[in-house]
Structure 1
Amino acid sequence: MKSYRLLLTFVLVFSFQKVYVQSHFDIVFPRSANERNQKCKSCFETFKNKPKGVKFSIKRDGNNLYFEVNDKDWFNKLFATEGDGMAIDLVTKSKYDCSIDSIENKQIRGRLMRPLYGSLLRKA
């Protein structure tokens, strides 16, 4: 079987310095685990069925963040519809300091970056 390896790199944010106000943008967070499991089913399935050789990561280059993936087909499954996108929650190391007894249980733990959607990511 012919192996297709393609490194796709997408800029996720303009700059760490340009984000001043915390916002959830247009992201709607499910209120319960059951609602999350229903609404996020296709995403969970895509990750569950990710081929063994597929690698992905978030990389930092200066003030820019990039989503890198080595498989175009898997990328297209992950961002199959116009509403599929990604946002990054930037969390400081101090938030997870070993001396802290407990961590707040909330959806966003740091600074949420503006989401980018499949249609824009495919153009990059």
Structure 2
Amino acid sequence: HPYQSWWTGSDLSIEQSRKLVPHQNATTMQVAISVVAATMWMIENPEMGVVVPDDLPHEFVLGIAKPYLGKFISTSSDWTPLKNYTNPFPGYNKPDHDRRDPWQFKNFLMKDGE
């Protein structure tokens, strides 16, 4: 296929987040509203016991969270794990990258020098 990668997420600017809740940023808003929505579900469903996030009803959570998340986006991207790679610890680690196949796990792995 013609795609390097695909990005799906929400796009909430700092200005939008501060209109919703003063002095906050987009990341804080996105994390906090998810916790609030999950907590609201827990309060309404105490008989369900412990539930992992993947098992929460996404319609319920998004119904509460969506107004605080900004625009939803799903789009192609030319990003790869090695596209703009720089070694953050030159001389202290020995990256072993596979430039022929950038999606190999070892291209994401940070390890100390051996």
Shorter-chain TM band? 0.3 to 0.5
Report which of the two structures shows the higher radius of gyration computed on alpha carbons: 2
Bigger helix fraction:
2
Bigger strand fraction:
1
Give me the TM-score of the superposition, normalised by structure 1.
0.31
Give me the TM-score of the superposition, normalised by structure 2.
0.32
